[in-house]
Amino acid sequence: MAPVPLARRTGSGAPDDSTPLLSLRGAAVSYGERTVWQGLDLDVRSGEFLAVLGPNGSGKTSLVRALLGRQPLSAGTLTVLGRPAGRSGRHIGYIPQQAALSAQAMLRARDLVRFGMDGHRFGPRPRSGAIRRRVDDILASVGASSYADVPLGMLSGGERQRVRIGQALATDPRILLCDEPLLSLDLNHQRAVTELVDARRRSHGTGVVFVTHEINPVLGLVDRVLYLARGGHRIGTPEEVLSSESLSELYGTQVDVLRVRGRVLVVGAPDEIAPPHHDPAHDPAHEAAASPTIDGVRP
Amino acid sequence: MTLADGIWHQIFAFDNYGELLALVRNSLIAGAALGLVGGLAGVFVIMRDLPFAVHGISELSFAGASAALLMGVNIVAGSIVGSLVAAGAIGILGARARDRNSVIGILMPFGLGLGVLFLALYKGRAANKFGLLTGQIVAVDTPEMTWLLGTSALVLVVLTLIWRPLAFASADPDVAETRGVPVRTLSLVFMLVLGLTVALSVQIVGALLVLTLIVTPAAAAARVTASPVLLPVLSVVFAVASIEGGILLALGSSIPISPYVTTISFTIYVMCRAAGRYRTRRWGARSTTPQTA
């Protein structure tokens, strides 16, 4: 395997390789009889950009849920920010799948961002200029100032996703957990979203776990790839994992990986794996994702 | 006098208005309290898509109130017990939207049936029976007044404490949960708060028309603002205006209070909807202008 430059592996922001931000050891998730993935050993370190790839039903969403502490492991251990998942405090920025927002919500972009700061606090809400300025700063940093006061329901998919990133940044995250953040975005917005995420990990050393079914928009940023498939998983640099040899072995069938003009094309991988044997209604994100989203492609 | 004139005078009568006004002073106070809590709870009813639950709770509240009437105990207390049972059942059994609607659909006719049974057994004044369903200007006596105001105060305190995390959990449950907001607990607490609010509303607008105080004002406010401050304020203003206006108009007439309240509340909604179209057009225009990415 080709050696990977150190700078790339750690990102250029605050390299801190001593303790991983999150750590899975021999981890497995299963629903009843069906094991989604198992034997997963994974560390994500400060400033690292990990892409999670895999076909539908390969357990990408289960991984996100496990990292959030909402999906118990059936085996192994998971430590997030030094503590068991779900009790790891509030320094996890979570960007859920598109359209996971209640349609009835009468919220402006700035309200969603503010929720990221103090939405969890009980008691009367103090009027604070400092908080308002911080919200304004965050909105500006994600390029959402011009629609800060527009209800979220009236924003395009790309605009909403910028606000979502703003909300995640408002939590001052040490880990950014992005669940298909590029879904139904056009190329310009895909680039904008990935650049925002990348900027954060470089400036603050935030670890990024980026679930996506499309590697190319993040190919140039990714330090490592976790490729989940029914037959197992592969972890390594994009060069290691996204090769004909590695994916053919993973899928148990001939898969060809082509590299054309800086893009990776995977040919022959079974697109769909049998749907997971669990009730998707348990997961609101699934329900929400099933409803069509209209993306903001502008004239 | 033509027939039309006769009906007009039945609907709008202001003879001896000053004396009547003194009699309903308590009702006006109760109405203001109710408008306050109804307008506030309504904001979350809209956010959490619970109008049907409001209706379901009100039918069991009606059953509780009519049972109390039959047994000769405090009607407000009976109404509260009925409400809390319904709200608790909906909150526990119907955590998911799909289950919730069927739970409500099952509870609602049962509650209404029980209420009809108790009223049929009741031998007292017919006006008392009718009032529970379609509203009345309660010449609220002191013990009932204490219950109404005490419950309103409780609802107000709880809503103030949980407002922010509840708004977070209502709008954005997925992320709220990851931020440590107790989404499920808040959902149940809100159902109970909603139960209390419904029980109060049943006393004045009646079980069938509770939605006019708990849903319509908040829905109207949501057409004209998305500000987290202005929305509850407007919702409360609309709810109080509907109920106090209703009481004042109904005072001299022989007609129950509810048609007045529902008409005012509906008119406010229609006006807000029209105003909201204007606002929407402005934002619509925004999203067609090109932006720098």
- A104 vs B contacts (CB less than 8 Å): 46-49
CB–CB of A94 and B175 under 8 A?
yes
Q: How confident is the model at residue B99 (pLDDT cuts 50, 70, 90)?
A: confident
Q: In this model, does residue A35 exceed pLDDT 80?
A: yes
Total domains in chain B come to: 1
Mean pLDDT rounded to a whole number for chain A = 80
**Separation CA B133–CA B205 (nearest Å):** 8
Q: In this model, does residue B128 exceed pLDDT 80?
A: no
Distances (CA, A) of A69 to A1, A14, A39: 35, 27, 18
How many Cβ atoms from other residues are within 10 Å of residue A195's Cβ?
13
Q: In this model, does residue A267 exceed pLDDT 70?
A: yes
**Separation CA A143–CA A138 (nearest Å):** 9
**Domain-embedded: residue A295:** no
**Domain-embedded: residue B74:** yes
Total domains in chain A come to: 1
Q: What is the ipTM of this complex?
A: 0.82
CB–CB of A147 and B286 under 8 A?
yes
**Domain-embedded: residue B101:** yes
Domain that holds residue A206: 6-14+21-290
Tallying the residues shown for chain B, one arrives at 293
Residue A57 DSSP label: T
Tokens of B272: 């807000």
B286 vs A122, residue with greater confidence: A122
Tokens of B146: 């204490």
Q: How confident is the model at residue A114 (pLDDT cuts 50, 70, 90)?
A: very high
**Domain-embedded: residue A299:** no
Please compute the mean of the pLDDT values over residues A37-58 and round it to a whole number. 91
Domain that holds residue B150: 34-208
Q: In this model, does residue A295 exceed pLDDT 50?
A: no
Distance from CA of B64 to the nearest CA of A (A): 31
CB–CB of A102 and B228 under 8 A?
no
Query: Quick one: what percent of chain B has pLDDT higher than 90?
Result: 48
**Domain-embedded: residue B6:** no
How many Cβ atoms from other residues are within 10 Å of residue B147's Cβ?
21
Please compute the mean of the pLDDT values over residues B246-250 and round it to a whole number. 88
Write down the pLDDT at residue B39.
96
Write down the pLDDT at residue A9.
42
User: B12: alpha, beta or left, given left = phi > 0 and alpha = psi -120 to 50?
Assistant: beta
Q: In this model, does residue B229 exceed pLDDT 50?
A: yes
Please compute the mean of the pLDDT values over residues A55-75 and round it to a whole number. 89
Amino acid at residue number B137: I
**Separation CA B246–CA B28 (nearest Å):** 10
Q: How confident is the model at residue B286 (pLDDT cuts 50, 70, 90)?
A: low
Q: In this model, does residue A98 exceed pLDDT 80?
A: no
Sign of the CA dihedral with A238 first, then A244, A247, and A250 last: negative
**Domain-embedded: residue B142:** yes
**Domain-embedded: residue A297:** no
**Domain-embedded: residue B90:** yes
Lowest mean pLDDT among A263-277, A284-298, B214-228: A284-298
Q: How confident is the model at residue A99 (pLDDT cuts 50, 70, 90)?
A: low
**Domain-embedded: residue B284:** no
* Closest Cβ opposite residue A125 in set B164, B222, B288: B164
**Domain-embedded: residue B229:** no
**Domain-embedded: residue A296:** no
CATH of the domain at B157: 1.10.3470.10
**Domain-embedded: residue B104:** yes
* Closest Cβ opposite residue A102 in set B47, B222, B228: B47
B-proximal residues of A, 198-257, CB under 8 Å: none
Write down the pLDDT at residue B138.
59
Tokens of A142: 């994600």
**Separation CA B66–CA B59 (nearest Å):** 11
CB A109 within 8 A of CB A163: yes
Write down the pLDDT at residue A236.
92
pTM: predicted TM-score of the whole model, two decimal places: 0.83
CATH of the domain at A232: 3.40.50.300
Q: How confident is the model at residue A252 (pLDDT cuts 50, 70, 90)?
A: confident
CB–CB of B164 and A123 under 8 A?
yes
Q: What is the pLDDT of residues B42-83, one digit of tens each?
A: 999 999 989 999 999 999 999 999 999 899 888 889 999 999
- A188 vs B contacts (CB less than 8 Å): 293
